[in-house]
Chains A and B, each alone.
Chain A
Amino acid sequence: MSDCILQIKNLCKKFGELKATDGLNLDLRPGEIHAVIGPNGAGKSTLIKQICGELAPDSGSIEFLSHDITALDVAARAKLGLGRTFQISSLLLEYSALRNVMLAVQGFRGASYQMFTPMAWDSSLREVAMQALTEVGLQQRGDVSAAQLSHGERRQLEIALVLALQPKAFILDEPMAGMGAEGSKKLTEFLDQLRHRAPILLVEHDMDAVFSLADRISVLVYGKIIFTGSVADVRNNAQVRAAYLGEE
């Protein structure tokens, strides 16, 4: 199991009497897309927050690239290579799309205490940022402020920001949220290729996307993974259908 990129063991988090995460085990292996699905309130967001460091678990551990990162803060985990996107776009709205990505590249390089040279003159920052924008199809929108981007473009920018971090694992929190059919289809194709760069932990409601992308699917219900298996396994599992997929 030591070849796992991300390994979560016995993770627990209670809010009052509510067990949002209840002895949860989960891993992410090289090259795979591991989707986590579950009904609303199953604890998906709480799980993501604990993986990324926004929320401290009550007990259990999170290992990333063989480091125990349970006690690290958000920025430290990002520096180690944990790249996450937000369910609700979290952008720097006053900055242009390009400047958003440039700052991400700057974060990746650890150059944020350079005080003497203008950031705008840093052409290597600009080039790498422009590359990330081009990859998500925003190359024409670099100069537009993030506040003026459409919802779909903001989702694209979220992805560009995480690409700029060159992460060793992607944690994608509902990347399809609010995207149209066309956008979802494009993004699905994009993520299909992305897995070759780094494995993806994908939390997603869009079942078409999940079923077409995932190598493994874990089903989260009441803070517990009740089942992990391939797409076919999940489709055929009675427990999963009862808990989540309903009667089809």
Chain B
Amino acid sequence: MLSINREQKLNLLIIVVILALPSAALWLQEPFYITLMTKVVILALAGVGLNLALGLGGLVSFGHAAFFGIGGYVAGILASHAFNDEWLFSFFGLQVSGSSSMLLIWLLAIIVAAIIAAVIGYFSLRTQGVYFIMITLAFAQMIYYFAIAWPAYGGEDGLSIYVRNQLLSLNTADPMIFFAICFILLMAALALVSMLRNSHFGAALQAARQNEQRLAAIGIRPFGIKLTAFVISAAITALAGALFADLNRFVSPDMLSWHTSGEIMIFVILGGVGRLMGPIVGAALYVLFEYYLGGITEHWGLFLGILLLTVVLFARGGIVGLIAGELKHE
């Protein structure tokens, strides 16, 4: 028998709205709103990544901008070499070219971010609480300053992507097609996180958040579980970074800065920590505030701050929790 709870109804509604808005914009011939919704979808994807670590594992990573930025730079660097027809690197006769293939860029973004997340996680996951927050922040800032000091790829000025990267034979420059690509990836990531959450691994991961002592006592080493989650989380956020670079056709150290880490965390907290669709709601609200209130006043962040404060104080399950009630296991 198929039964559907309140949160699942809300989730369906959210998906319908995300699909309906760009379709309406297309019909009204307002491509700008398609792009705005694409931004929501991409930022939501970054949040979905963080939500795996933060929401399920309780890992308050304040360094996810590192992975977002790495995804962006992988896209930017490969694309710029492909555009200029230069070798990416040439090493004892082994010559590797750049690429404007999205599939290749995504794959590389995921691999590079996963490797770096494994290193960052290996050190930071030995600590807890505020130390974990600070170490993830420190690693991300290291990468940020590295990007600023790397003139080959624009340094502080960033790097432009002159032509949007290619996927199969699709016209990726068409806003609706690019939206669809991002939307499908978001849905795939949600399916992945949903699968992980309900799996044996997910049960252990959520147990690590609740009580590590107990987890170890039943023979499950919390470190390995948390590291695995951290790496998958980083890979998802890196994929979002690669898409974000393609959306803006530009990547800069801003993507790596601690502001970005904070923004990704805001998506998760606003929407609802550990809620499947939380990051989508959070990212949508954020973009809504940035665009509409940002058009009225440059102090729009103040209103976002008030909203965030209200959610943290009065609705610990975020907006999703407020509507769908408390989180249930199984």
Contact = CB atoms under 8 A, between A and B. Distances in A.
Interface centre among B199, B206, B210 (most CB of A within 10 A): B199
B122 to A, nearest CB: 16
Contacts of B142: none
A74 interface: yes
A74 B200 CA distance: 20
Contact of B206 (A52, A78, A86, A94): A94
B207 A75 contact: no
A239 B225 CA distance: 49
Contacts, number: 104
B1 to A, nearest CB: 15
A122 B195 CA distance: 14
Contact of A115 (B201, B215, B218): B201
Range, interface on chain A: 35 or more
A114 interface: yes
A111 B220 CA distance: 9
Given A84-B217, A91-B211, A111 B200 contact: yes
Given A118-B199, A119-B198, A94 B210 contact: yes
Interface residues of B, number: 27
Interface in A77-133: 78-79, 84, 86, 90-96, 99, 102-104, 106-108, 110-120, 122
B217 A90 contact: yes
A92 B207 CA distance: 6
A103 B204 contact: yes
A77 to B, nearest CB: 8
Contacts of A52: 217
A118 B329 contact: no
B257 to A, nearest CB: 32
A161 interface: yes
A117 to B, nearest CB: 6
B185 to A, nearest CB: 19
Contacts of A208: none
A165 interface: yes
Nearest to A106: B200
Contacts of A106: 200, 203-204, 220
Contact of B210 (A93, A102, A119, A165): A93
A236 to B, nearest CB: 37
A73 interface: yes
A161 B214 CA distance: 10
B93 interface: no
Interface string B209-249: 01101111111111001001000000000000000000000
B298 interface: no
Nearest to B199: A115
Nearest to B211: A92
Contacts of B215: 75, 103, 107
Nearest to A78: B219
Interface in B123-153: none
A115 B195 contact: yes
Contacts of B180: none
B219 A119 contact: no
B216 A117 contact: no
B226 to A, nearest CB: 12
Contact of B218 (A78, A99, A118): A78
Nearest to A53: B216
A79 B211 contact: no
Contact of A103 (B195, B203, B213, B222): B203
B329 A95 contact: yes
Contacts of A118: 198-199
Contacts of A103: 203-204, 207, 215, 218, 220
B207 A165 contact: no
Contacts of B217: 52, 74, 78, 84, 86, 90, 161
15 contacts: A79-B219, A91-B214, A94-B329, A95-B207, A95-B210, A103-B220, A106-B204, A107-B218, A107-B219, A107-B220, A108-B218, A110-B219, A114-B199, A115-B196, A119-B202
The 4 closest A-B pairs by CB, nearest first: A107-B218, A78-B219, A74-B216, A75-B221
Given A74-B216, A112-B200, 16 more contacts: A73-B221, A75-B222, A76-B221, A78-B218, A79-B219, A94-B210, A103-B203, A103-B215, A106-B204, A107-B218, A112-B225, A113-B201, A114-B200, A115-B201, A161-B218, A164-B218
